[in-house]
Structure 1
Amino acid sequence: MFIDWEKMPRTRSPRAKDSRRIASGQNMSFVRIEIEPTAEFTGETHWHMHEQWVVVLAGDVRMTVADEEVQLTTGDVLYIPIDAPHAPLAVGPAGATYLEIFAPPRMDLLPESIVPAV
């Protein structure tokens, strides 16, 4: 099944200047995130019961995972284990576009979801 990201509804976002769209199956979900260069980050970490992969499609993003800072650029892939504290810290001068891949799927991120964040 082909996914046209432009036709997918936007999801809730923790910050302004951040566009998110989600595609979810039974065992995993994909979230496409586009962040403008002027977006502001709190650096506040969070964690969840999902394995998470981050695949940078364009631009640069700096993240922290379990107290380690990493700088990611186009083509880079980052693995975030279950329950590992993590947070995006900043994007580069051109912003960033990346995919977050979750297993199990993040049903709490679906538009109009009543599932609590976990």
Structure 2
Amino acid sequence: MKINWSEHEALPDGGIPMVRRLVFGQNISCLHLTASEPGPLELQPHAHDNEQWVVVTAGSIHFVCEGEEYELKAGDVAYFPSGRRHTATRVGEDGAVLLELSAPARLDLVPGSLVPSAMRFD
């Protein structure tokens, strides 16, 4: 099944300066994120039980996982194991487009969901 991201409604921003669109199956979710403005992100470090893979398809973005910082550019992939503290800290000069794959699926992001947030903050 082909996913056409433009056919999926953007999620509420939730304080994140990115356009977010979500698709999900029974066991995995895929969040398409677009950040058109470069600069710092003010996202709190967090953890969740979901395993998470991030695939950068355009631009670049900086992440921190367990105190180690990474710059991910187009074509790079990052893996955040379940329970590891991580955050995105900065969008590169050309913006960023990325896919965030989570297993199990992040049903807490589905509009109207009654599932509690998967995010755990300090």
TM-score (norm 1): 0.93
Q: Which runs of 4+ in 1 moved over 3 A?
A: none
Question: Could you say which residue in structure 1 is the equivalent of 2:51?
Answer: 51
**8 Å CA contact retained: 1:41, 1:89:** yes
Structure 2, unmatched stretches of 5+, are: none
- CA distance in structure 2 between the partners assigned to 1:51 and 1:13 by the alignment: 22
RMSD over aligned CA atoms reads 1.4
48-57 or 13-22, which deviates more: 13-22
Conservation of the 8 A alpha-carbon contact between 1:54 and 1:98: yes
1:10·1:111 contact (CA, 8 Å) conserved in 2? no
Flag structure 1 segments of 5+ consecutive residues without an equivalent.
none
How high is the sequence identity, in percent, across the aligned residues? 36
Q: 1:29 to 1:90 in 2, by over 3 A?
A: same
Query: How many residues get paired?
Result: 118
Q: Name the structure 2 match of 1:94.
A: 94
* CA-to-aligned-CA distance 1:59-113 (integer Å, 9 cap, x gap): 0000001110000000000000001000000011111000000000000011222
In 2, Cα distance between equivalents of 1:7 and 1:106:
20
1:108 aligns to what SS in structure 2?
helix
SS of the residue corresponding to residue 22 of structure 1 reads: strand
Partners in 1 of 2:117 and 2:42 — Cα distance?
A: 19
